[in-house]
Amino acid sequence: MLKEKELNIIESKIKNKIPLDIDEISGYLNIKEKIIKNIFVMYEAFGRKSVESITLSDEEIDHIIKLKYPDVIAYKKH
């Protein structure tokens, strides 16, 4: 659980479109760091189309990616 000061810093970064680190994303969304790391390994190696999750929806994955890469456009499956 994040302390109020840490949460304020993260929310300020999000508002200003400053990329978050994996540990910040993990703490902010309360998702295990391992899952966040796996998302970025797949995303960075193969692109958004390759990122799938049993536990997270496409919208949640897009949200996680935007926290580290604020200027990325959300992926739309067809």
Q: What is the pLDDT of residue 76?
A: 61
pTM as predicted: 0.85
pLDDT at 60: 93
The answer on pLDDT for 62 being more than 70 is yes
pLDDT of residue 23 exceeding 80, the answer is yes
Distance, CA of 62 to CA of 58 (rounded, Å): 6
Residue 72 confidence (pLDDT): 80
Confidence check: pLDDT of 52 > 70? yes
